[in-house]
Amino acid sequence: MRALSAPALLEVWERGRGQGPVEQSLALLAAACTEASPDELAKRSIGLRDSDLLTLREQMFGSHMSSVTACPKCGGRLELSFNAADLRGEPRSEADSFVSLTLDGFELRARLPNSLDLAAAGKLSDTSLRRRLMLQRRLIAAYRDSQPVSADQLPAHVVDAVEERLAQADPQADIRLEICCPACGHQWQGIFDIVSFFWSEIEAWAFRILHEVHLLASAYGWHERDILAMSPWRRQFYLERAGR
């Protein structure tokens, strides 16, 4: 994986505007992980994908992260501060992307969800249909008393057990922050989504740097590619001089 230059990151941002989170995440990884094909990236488990995005975020903006949320009890505004290391789980590989389960005469083998699964499920508006489709796509083999069965033939408690086992096998795909409101003392878990978090940062960065390009191009007549090639320190120096 390589860090993206300012022009490369702007290109990914421009291409990803108006797309969904799955497409945005894959666009970022395709630009940074040139050693892997788009198909390989799309088939990585969500945990591996998110781990790669976390690494890329560190390379682009550093390890420190901050966010703002509201207390669900009193509505107070909270500023959160954490590091990438706080969000990173145990290192895993593609070999860990499969789980097996034996329960009440059922023998099952399934794989962890990937971006292709999320993209397919995202086209459905009904929650139960999305859940069924995700199970059908991830179920590799299912037997009851040595006889093959389909996903639709699995009882609800077996489906729940499979999904729980898959979630346990891919903790990086479900990161939660322990939050406590200093105003009222309410405690809860907040879901951290690296895709939306990282993309919102890229969005803010893109508008800021395009504004800087506009100011410097107007003041000095420089081309965009030359301004983007400057270090942030040099851009800031010229911006301050132009502001005077």
- Condensed to tens digits (0 to 9), the pLDDT of residues 41-88 reads 999 999 999 999 999 999 999 999 999 999 999 999 999 999 999 999
- Run of H or E including 54: helix 46-61
Out of 110, 142, 169, a domain closes at 169
Q: Do residues 172 and 92 touch, judged by C-beta distance below 8 A?
A: yes
d(CA 10, CA 6): 6
Helix and strand numbers (H, E) in the chain are: 11, 8
Question: Residue 72: its pLDDT value, please?
Answer: 95
% of the chain with per-residue pLDDT over 90: 94
Question: Residue 237: its pLDDT value, please?
Answer: 95
d(CA 230, CA 205): 15
The CA-based dihedral angle spanning residues 5, 201, 195, 44, taken in that order and rounded to the nearest 10 degrees: 10
Question: Residue 94: its pLDDT value, please?
Answer: 75
Residues in a beta bridge with 210: none
Out of 150, 169, 188, a domain closes at 169
Residue 141 CB partners (closer than 8 Å, separation 6+): 107, 108, 109, 148
Confidence band of 191 (pLDDT split at 50, 70, 90): very high
For the chain, where are the E strands, in sequence order? 64-70, 77-83, 98-103, 106-111, 139-144, 147-148, 175-180, 187-192
Higher pLDDT, 89 or 179: 179
Residue 122, classed as helix, strand or coil, is coil
d(CA 29, CA 1): 8
Question: Residue 112: its pLDDT value, please?
Answer: 96
Confidence band of 27 (pLDDT split at 50, 70, 90): very high
The two structure tokens encoding residue 70: 């509201």
What's the pLDDT tens digit per position in 126-148?
999 999 999 999 999 999 999 99
Flag whether pLDDT at 244 surpasses 80: no
Q: What is the extent of the structural domain holding 113?
A: 98-169
Sign (positive or negative) of CA dihedral 47, 49, 52, 58: negative
Question: Residue 93: its pLDDT value, please?
Answer: 74
10/85 same-domain check: yes
% of the chain with per-residue pLDDT over 70: 99
36/147 same-domain check: no
Residue 176, classed as helix, strand or coil, is strand
d(CA 221, CA 201): 28
Question: Residue 96: its pLDDT value, please?
Answer: 78
The count of structural domains within the chain is: 2
25/140 same-domain check: no
238/200 same-domain check: yes
Report if residue 1 sits inside a domain.
no
Mean pLDDT throughout 120-126? Answer: 94
Mean pLDDT throughout 196-206? Answer: 97
Report if residue 157 sits inside a domain.
yes
Q: Report the chain's terminal Cα–Cα distance, integer Å.
A: 41
Confidence band of 92 (pLDDT split at 50, 70, 90): confident
Flag whether pLDDT at 229 surpasses 80: yes
86/20 same-domain check: yes
200/150 same-domain check: no
Q: How confident is the prediction for the chain on average, in pLDDT?
A: 94
Out of 129, 146, 169, a domain closes at 169
